[in-house]
Amino acid sequence: MPLDIAIAQFRPSKGDLDATLDGCAGIIRRAAGAERRPRLVVFPETALTGYFLEGGVREQAIAAPELFEALNARVGEDADGLDVAIGFYERDAAGIYNSALYATLGPGGGILHVHRKVFLATYGVFQEERFVEAGAGIRAFDAPPGRIALLICEDGFHSVSGTLAALDGASIILILSASPARGAAPGAGVPGNLVRWEALASAIAAEHGVFVIVSQLVGFEGGKGFAGGSAAYDPHGHRLLAGPLWEEAVLPVRVDLDEAARARTEEPLFSDLERSWTRLLVNSPGSGVRRPAPDGE
């Protein structure tokens, strides 16, 4: 079954929520009016504000329903039935989170899922744990295009994230990322962090037989450059497309959801995982199960 997705490699107007929402809405409206209308538009991590806000998250964080209403109010009827995934700093009664909203736009739509980033990057240039709370878990959810899971940036650096998403039934994993460019060694033609992303995302796709969509932020924030280079991978781990460097772009990609089943049949790694997962957990360190010492000890 073919599914059209648009990856919105987006540059926010940092600190200007209204202007940024207008920019997002413009992309959504244009996607909705495109000849080959996508079913889903995927924005990057922190698309609503920019990534490096430090204490500014207090002023810029909004509630998920508020974001949903703000988008709906701007796109009008044009986007009825279109799905959107978008990264934002989320405020709720318990705290502030680095989150991703998944919603179907229009009066018949609604919020289908909010994922809160689990693995908060707090090293080197990153300071997330100083300013936001960590999410509790990774779950897949049913959406009109299929069963989907959301990951945010460093979530995707931990192989267990893709594993949990796949085990919960996801056939499409959307990774919303804001990855500051670093590393300029000759060879790949792209910053080193994108070489890393290529390895990570294609490995998740190939191991679990899922589609992986990586939507990257673009633009400079205080000298840190988000290079773009969004990408999509099929369930064999092959890259379907790559976004340009340094520029905004809306990248259409058509995926054949039946390909996931074919990939899993061809190389049944996922069924091997499903069969072994519980046994592995029970026998893993920290499970509370005391394993007998080997003979002779």
Partner 1 sequence: MTRAWPPPGTAEARAPHPADRGPLDIDTDLVRDWLVQFLREEIERRRGFRRVVVGLSGGVDSALTAALCAEALGPAAVLALLLPYRTSSPRSREHALLVAEKFGIPTRTIDITRAVDGYLDEFEPEAGGHRRGNVAARQRMIVLFDQAFKLSALPVGTGNKSERLLGYYTWHADDSPPVNPLGDLFKSQVWALARAVGVPAEVVDKPATADLVQGQTDEEDLGATYPEADLILHHLISGRGPDDLVEAGFERKKVELVAGRLESTHWKRHLPTVAMLSPTAIGEWYLRPVDY
Q: Which stretch binds partner 1 (CB under 8 A): 112-120, 208-216, 241-249, 261-269?
A: 241-249
Q: 3-class DSSP state for residue 38? A: coil
The least CB distance from residue 213 to partner 1, in Å, is 15
Instruction: Tell me which residues in 149-178 interact with partner 1 (CB under 8 A).
Output: none
242, 257, 269, 273: which one binds partner 1 (CB under 8 A): 242
Considering the rule CB under 8 A, would residue 47 count as an interface residue with partner 1? Answer: no
- Across 105-197, the runs of DSSP E, i.e. the strands, are 110-116, 140-143, 146-152, 172-177
Distance CA 145, CA 253 (A): 14
Considering the rule CB under 8 A, would residue 221 count as an interface residue with partner 1? Answer: yes
222, 256, 274, 280: which one binds partner 1 (CB under 8 A): 222
Sheet holding 40-42, edge to edge: 110-116, 95-104, 83-92, 40-42, 2-9, 249-256
* Residue 254 CB contacts under 8 Å (≥ 6 apart), including other chains: 2, 3, 4, 5, 36
Considering the rule CB under 8 A, would residue 94 count as an interface residue with partner 1? Answer: no
Sheet holding 239-242, edge to edge: 140-143, 146-152, 172-177, 211-216, 231-233, 239-242
Q: Which stretch binds partner 1 (CB under 8 A): 92-100, 112-120, 213-221, 257-265?
A: 213-221
Considering the rule CB under 8 A, would residue 231 count as an interface residue with partner 1? Answer: yes
Total residues in contact with partner 1, by rule CB under 8 A = 35
Considering the rule CB under 8 A, would residue 105 count as an interface residue with partner 1? Answer: no
DSSP conformation class of 169: T
Residue 144, token pair as written in the block: 């009109």
Considering the rule CB under 8 A, would residue 185 count as an interface residue with partner 1? Answer: yes
Measuring CA to CA, which residue among 218, 131, 204 is closest to residue 173? Answer: 204
8, 28, 42, 53: which one binds partner 1 (CB under 8 A): 53
Considering the rule CB under 8 A, would residue 252 count as an interface residue with partner 1? Answer: no
Tell me whether residue 105 is exposed, middle or buried, using C-beta atoms within 10 angstroms of its C-beta: 0 to 12, 13 to 18, 19 or more. Answer: buried
Instruction: Tell me which residues in 22-41 interact with partner 1 (CB under 8 A).
Output: none
Q: Which stretch binds partner 1 (CB under 8 A): 23-31, 79-87, 189-197, 270-278?
A: 189-197
CB-facing half-sphere around the CA of 75: CA atoms within 13 A: 30
The least CB distance from residue 221 to partner 1, in Å, is 6
Which position has the token pair 């962090």? 193
Residues 194, 215, 145, 30, CA torsion sign: negative
Considering the rule CB under 8 A, would residue 294 count as an interface residue with partner 1? Answer: no
The least CB distance from residue 192 to partner 1, in Å, is 8
Considering the rule CB under 8 A, would residue 251 count as an interface residue with partner 1? Answer: no
Residues 268, 274, 279, 280, CA torsion sign: positive
Considering the rule CB under 8 A, would residue 181 count as an interface residue with partner 1? Answer: yes
Instruction: Tell me which residues in 55-74 interact with partner 1 (CB under 8 A).
Output: 55-56
Which residue ranges make up the site for partner 1 (CB under 8 A)? 14-15, 50, 52-56, 181, 184-191, 194-195, 198-199, 219-223, 225, 227, 229, 231, 239, 242-243, 245-246
